Amino acid sequence: MKKLSLKGRHLLSISDLSIPEIELILKTARTIKKNPKKFASALKGKNLGMIFQKPSTRTRVSFEVAMYQLGGQALNLTSNELQLKRGETVADTARVLSRFLDAMTARVFSHNDVLELAKYGTIPVINALSDYEHPCQALADVLTILEHKKTVKNLKITYIGDGNNVAHSLVLAVVKLGGYIQVATPKGYEMQDSLIQTAHKICKQTGGKLVVSHDPQATADQADVIYADVWTSMGQEEEHKKRLADFQGFQINSDLLTRAKKDCIVMHCLPAHRGEEITDEVVDGPNSVVWDQAENRLHAQKALLYLVLK
Ligand code: CP
Ligand code: NVA
């Protein structure tokens, strides 16, 4: 049988990955996390370019440190400092950067930009967040769920808030692994239909289950995992006031948490807008695993880079 390999592959969406491929990334992440020194020169001589059209703390720093800890290098390429800003096309940027680099990550407004980079470049492209998905986040998320709950199956995993990029990737990752996820959004902020359809197709193959609603209370009932993200994503700033009003009742606070199981873990991709989608007492409380989750960005991405580039 052919050995499973991710060498040379893009990661644009969680749906690009098969179940064994996700399992391989998670297993490799655990191995690297346990013994990072063993991988200290695994990517010696390799260069990762990181295009950022939007701000980032976790993704940029964790990718940069990941490359250093694997013996390679990372170049931070903010789009403002590239000729992209002056009208060079995404396709030409991809063609040129492919001649210098071994892989690229890109954080973009339009998901189409990561698709274009992958289409016209000749090196692996990793989606570091688009308006449609945040697959690297979801890999760290399932790694964190496994660490705290041992399994992704037989749990009630919930996401309460905006049906956004983070929700999309989380849903795909959970149902790929055969898990059960409930998503509650306000009316008008549902996940995109195309994503829901893809998720339901995956459920048929894996036994996973997706339930969507507009009811945060029922969603939180007996939950094993409650996941939150900001109500206003990057690029939506002018909708902030309207969103604050529309998302009333969707805050993860101590009241909502009393509905969940006692040992429920609370997750947030961060940055948190404390006092909006989540309260201080919950982020800083005993159920919160948000710092473990943030740390796991590093380990999951080291695994991904190792598998794609080694
Ligand atoms: N969760 C996440 O992607 O954080 P950054 O925006 O800081 O990268
Ligand atoms: N949904 C958020 C995630 C930030 C990591 C955004 O796109 O801004």
* Catalytically annotated residue among 10, 58, 60, 107: 107
Query: Taking 80 as the threshold, does the pLDDT of residue 2 lie above it?
Result: no
Please say whether the beta carbons of 233 and 129 come within 8 A. no
Residue 215: C-alpha distances to residues 158, 226, 255, 272 (Å) = 11, 14, 15, 22
Query: Taking 90 as the threshold, does the pLDDT of residue 27 lie above it?
Result: yes
229 is catalytic: yes
Query: Taking 90 as the threshold, does the pLDDT of residue 275 lie above it?
Result: yes
C-alpha–C-alpha distance, residues 102 and 211, integer Å: 40
pLDDT 10s digits, 127-175? 999 999 999 999 999 999 999 999 999 999 999 999 999 999 999 999 9
pLDDT recorded at residue 3: 87
Confidence of residue 258 (pLDDT cuts 50, 70, 90): very high
Give yes or no for residue 164 CB within 6 A of ligand 2.
yes
Kindly give the distance from the C-alpha atom of residue 66 to the centroid of ligand 2, in angstroms, as a whole number.
Answer: 21
Give yes or no for residue 270 CB within 6 A of ligand 1.
yes
Please say whether the beta carbons of 147 and 292 come within 8 A. yes
252, β-bridge pairs: 278
Q: What is the number of residues in the chain?
A: 310
Q: Which atom of ligand 1 is nearest to the CA of 269?
A: 1
How much is the average pLDDT of 41-54? 98
pLDDT 10s digits, 60-102? 999 999 999 999 999 999 988 899 999 999 999 999 999 999 9
148 is catalytic: no
Give yes or no for residue 165 CB within 6 A of ligand 2.
yes
Give yes or no for residue 93 CB within 6 A of ligand 2.
no
Kindly give the distance from the C-alpha atom of residue 278 to the centroid of ligand 1, in angstroms, as a whole number.
Answer: 16
